[in-house]
Structure 1
Amino acid sequence: LVALVTGAGAFAYSTFIVKPEYTSTTRIYVVNRNQGDKPGLTNQDLQAGTYLVKDYREIILSQDVLEKVATNLKLDIPAKTLTSKVQVTVPADTRIVSISVKDKQPEEASRIANSLREVAAEKIVAVTRVSDVTTLEEARPATTPSSPNVRRNTLVGFLGGAAVTVITVLLIELLDTR
């Protein structure tokens, strides 16, 4: 019974109290200038690109880039707050950079992600002198929330209630000195 109550409580909390957040993702591909007319990529090119991608991540999350995005979109939030909404990931052994933005409004998340991609592309070209930053995928407004995960939260609430019940019963049995 306790497990059902805590599971129902977690469900109600996740559904009615927690505001849903939406994630929009855009992806870019960075091409090095020094490749010239070489067809294909060498292993050395990929290794160098992998190290540079870490630099691109730092450039994307830099104060200059975030402040310019906030100014361009007329956002009423400081760059520090914007940083907490942005996640930059790099799939292993690629020069592809994914920029994800979480927001309570799906349209706002995609607007911020696309603006961040545009501003970051200019800054990456200027700072690292790469030949091109190509958009692989534009951010689109999400149709379903990325959080909260109602199913997972309900299950955790149910299992937590069940665990409390089992521990309580065991303690009562162990401490019973009759």
Structure 2
Amino acid sequence: MEENTIRQTDEIEIDLWEICLVLIHNLALIVSVGIMVALGAFLFTQLLVTPSYESTTKIYILNKQENSAVTYSDIQLGTQLTKDYAELIQSRFVLEEVVQGMGLDLTYEQMKEKVSVTTPTDTRILAITVKDKDPVMAMKMANAIREAASVHIMNVMDIQAVNVAETANMPMKKASPSVLKNTFLGGVLGVFLIIAVVLVRYLMDDTIKTPEDVEKYLQLSTLAVIPLNEGEADGKKKKKKVKRS
């Protein structure tokens, strides 16, 4: 039993080593394909994909009575209500008002896909982010949503004031797509694909190439190897030339 286990382990090690040799032998091909696919991903992202820009504005909401001190319960309650505020910001009432006010050719669903609302942990600050292909339009829509949402929140939640923590600015850098990321992923994908092709071709090839293959797969020992003499080799080369001509 132990001898059989050792033999099986040796065969597995030999197979893995052969696979490594196959990959090393095709290293130039693997690298070339990886570079070509990475270059293709770079050109596709740079030339064909339309970039998007993000602009963010922030508001601060504090629910307190006029001329009264801010207590810890006020802050804690406000933190719990931030999800309610986020829903109101993305409500149909607010977004359709912005669409009509700016004269945009967008439905409510299309507008909602452009808007995201986030809240930093343990804060009462709401960040309203708008994503659009036009950086100027992204800034204008973010500020318009902030103004419409502030009024809507005060009316619905009976809030006395919604303070502007930060106005939206025109984004100078595109938010997506990431050229570097797509190029890297394209290169990695190309490398994995060509490795898969090389390994499949190797595993599907069951031809006998060396005396070691005879002993390994046919369980036969080779007594001698007959080399191809120079005369036969030259004759084969001449035949190939005649056929081509």
Shared fold (TM-score greater than 0.5)?
yes
Is 1:18 aligned with 2:49?
Answer: yes
The Cα of 1:172 is off from its aligned counterpart by 2.0
Q: Which moved more, 1:116-125 or 1:28-37?
A: 28-37
Match of 1:143 among 172, 181, 184: 172
Q: Residue in 2 aligned with 1:58?
A: 87
Q: Residue in 1 aligned with 2:200?
A: 171
> Match for 1:15: what amino acid?
Q
Distance 2:62 2:132 in 1: 30
Q: TM-score, normalised by structure 2?
A: 0.69
> Match for 1:171: what amino acid?
V
1:18-167 equivalences under 5 Å are: 18-34=49-65, 37-39=68-70, 41-42=71-72, 44-167=73-196
Q: TM-score, normalised by structure 1?
A: 0.94
> Match for 2:57: what amino acid?
T
Distance 2:67 2:133 in 1: 44
Q: 1 or 2 for the larger relative contact order (CA 8 Å, sep ≥6)?
A: 1
Distance 2:198 2:76 in 1: 58
Distance 1:21 1:86 in 2: 13
Q: Which moved more, 1:7-16 or 1:162-171?
A: 162-171
Distance 2:37 2:196 in 1: 15
Q: Is the 8 A contact 1:46 1:93 kept in 2?
A: no
> Match for 1:98: what amino acid?
A
> Match for 1:146: what amino acid?
A
Write 1 or 2 for the structure with the bigger share of strand: 1
Instruction: Choose 1 or 2 for highest CA Rg.
Output: 2
Distance 1:155 1:35 in 2: 56
Identity %, equivalent residues? 38
Distance 1:101 1:146 in 2: 11
Q: How many residues align?
A: 176
Q: Is the 8 A contact 1:25 1:100 kept in 2?
A: yes
Q: Is the 8 A contact 1:28 1:134 kept in 2?
A: yes
Distance 1:162 1:33 in 2: 60
Write 1 or 2 for the structure with the bigger share of helix: 2
Distance 1:98 1:36 in 2: 27
Deviation digits for residues 138-178 of structure 1 (CA, Å, limit 9, x no counterpart): 00110111111000000000000011112222222222222
The Cα of 1:37 is off from its aligned counterpart by 2.1
Q: Residue in 1 aligned with 2:4?
A: none
> Match for 1:176: what amino acid?
D
RMSD: 1.4
Q: Which runs of 4+ in 1 moved over 6 A?
A: none
